[in-house]
């Protein structure tokens, strides 16, 4: 049985109601992007990598399983603490079973890159949602490096068989769209190639892979290219060494309690160790432009990633225009930003949201439907979304989540401050990224039942 069938057979609906002020101090789960990469680079390194603060959601646990299937020793040593003993660059073993990534596009695409540089064959698969997502953009550059796709679903979709390159070639590749997943797949394949593999992007995408490769001992240089772009050059065939990785709290997960505290009157919460990498904090920038009170303190860093404690207080928000070049730094956060926009005074315009159409669901349409069914006026024009804020949200709607964890959490956040309760058809998928979301929100005072 696939994950999605399991969820579909046992939907867990939930209702969020207007609650009193949210208060307290919490640490949201570890960052998903860093958790995936710590396991994959730990598996490609020599020696032991110790990871603390790992996100133990299903997506990351599936990456851990696939690293085991590829020959690395991966074990849980305590709460959110993991040990990985790697096999070295290009050292993956032929897996005896298909690699099942469940719902995780990130895990799947990054591991495609890592496998592409090894002389092995692996079958990549996932749940119904992941099987519907396009893989061609990642497979195209990997083919240039010598990897070959055998059998695959329609249009290069999962399940697919990937034959890694016996002698991978270094390439210079310009990404067709700003995508950390495409860039990371090319760089991970490039580890096994002699010479320098170069990725050029016209708009800088998240740089977690580059920062962590450096942390594990790779020679990698990132320079500006044009007004918003980057050129990343990786010297191939390094010996990566095991490293200590402290996973910061995920800003994409922090987005939900942050917006909840901003819209629920009288709220005052503190979130610890939240990643503040500027390529991930477009939401914080936007919310501050809308008038949000978000204060940073206790700044520190680990594995190249900065983190800080955030104090968030209820704020009167106003509509703003969010420029398209900010999209890569907050692509997962537009859903909950749309909720904040509903409670703001005036219209919020979000531009350049094409990538939302190829996520777990068509998130652009699903976000608009979530707002409309709860009385908020919203328009989509091309890749732009306009939300007309009236300072309050009527609520009273039933939200269809389309097996999408972020739609479910965004809708529940909306219900905490709307005039009438908001119901969500299924919350089972929240476990993929934020297993403790519901108990954590209740601990802050949220009314969820």
Chain centroid to CA 370: 21
Mean pLDDT by 10 residues, the chain (449 residues): 44 94 96 95 98 93 98 97 98 98 96 98 96 94 97 91 98 94 98 98 92 97 94 98 95 96 98 93 97 96 88 98 91 96 98 81 90 98 96 97 93 98 95 90 97
Residue 45, token pair as written in the block:
């390194």
pLDDT of residue 361: 64
Cβ distance 203 to 228 under 8 Å? Answer: yes
User: Which residue in the list 332, 362, 383, 419 is annotated as catalytic?
Assistant: 332
334-343 and 251-263 are packed helices; what angle lies between their axes, rounded to 10 degrees? Answer: 10
Residue 208, token pair as written in the block:
């977690």
Alpha helices in 169-326 (DSSP H): 180-190, 208-215, 251-263, 282-289
Among candidate residues 387, 385, 375, 311, the one with its CA nearest the CA of residue 344: 387
Strand segments (E) across 215-276? 220-225, 229-235, 244-246, 268-275
Q: Annotated catalytic, 332?
A: yes
Alpha helices in 3-135 (DSSP H): 3-9, 32-44, 58-69, 105-116, 128-131
pTM for the full model?
0.81
pLDDT of residue 359: 66
pLDDT of residue 155: 81
């Amino acid at each position: 049985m696939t994950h999605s069938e399991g969820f579909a057979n046992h939907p867990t609906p939930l209702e969020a109601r207007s609650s009193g002020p949210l208060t307290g101090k919490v640490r949201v789960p570890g960052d998903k992007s860093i958790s995936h990469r710590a396991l994959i680079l730990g598996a490609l390194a020599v020696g032991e990598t110790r990871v603390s603060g790992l996100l133990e959601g299903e997506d990351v646990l599936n990456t851990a399983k696939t690293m085991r299937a590829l020959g690395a020793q991966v074990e849980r040593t305590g709460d959110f603490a993991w040990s990985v003993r790697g096999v070295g660059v290009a050292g993956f073993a032929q897996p005896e079973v298909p690699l099942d990534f469940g719902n995780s596009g990130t895990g799947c695409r990054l591991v495609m890159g890592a496998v592409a540089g090894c002389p092995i064959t692996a079958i990549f698969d996932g749940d119904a949602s992941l099987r519907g997502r396009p893989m061609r953009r990642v497979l195209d550059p990997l083919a240039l490096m010598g990897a070959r796709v055998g059998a695959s679903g329609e249009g290069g979709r999962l399940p697919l068989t990937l034959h890694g390159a016996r002698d991978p070639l270094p390439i210079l590749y310009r990404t067709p769209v700003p995508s950390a997943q495409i860039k990371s797949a090319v760089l991970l394949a490039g580890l096994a190639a002699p010479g320098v593999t170069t990725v050029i992007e016209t708009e800088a995408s998240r740089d977690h892979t580059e920062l962590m490769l450096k942390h594990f001992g790779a020679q990698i240089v990132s320079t500006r290219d044009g007004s918003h772009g980057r050129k990343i050059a990786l010297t191939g065939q390094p010996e990566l060494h095991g490293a200590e990785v402290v996973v910061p709290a995920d800003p994409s997960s922090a987005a939900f309690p942050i917006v909840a505290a901003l819209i629920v009157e009288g709220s005052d919460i503190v979130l610890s160790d939240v990643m503040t990498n500027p390529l991930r904090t477009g939401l914080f920038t936007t919310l501050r432009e809308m008038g949000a009170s978000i204060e940073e303190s206790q700044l520190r860093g680990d594995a190249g990633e900065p983190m800080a404690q955030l104090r968030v207080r209820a704020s009167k928000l106003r509509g703003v225009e969010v420029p398209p070049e900010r999209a890569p730094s907050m692509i997962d956060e537009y859903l909950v930003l749309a909720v904040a926009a509903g409670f703001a005074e005036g219209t919020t315009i979000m531009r350049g949201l094409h990538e939302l159409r190829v996520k777990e669901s068509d998130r652009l349409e699903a976000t608009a439907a979530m707002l409309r069914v709860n009385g908020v006026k919203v328009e989509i024009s091309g890749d732009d979304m306009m939300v007309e804020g009236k300072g309050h949200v009527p609520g009273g709607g039933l939200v269809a989540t389309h097996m999408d964890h972020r739609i479910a959490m965004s809708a529940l956040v909306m219900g905490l401050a709307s005039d009438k309760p908001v119901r969500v058809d299924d919350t089972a998928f929240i476990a993929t990224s934020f297993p403790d979301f519901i108990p954590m929100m209740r601990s802050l005072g949220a009314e969820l039942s």
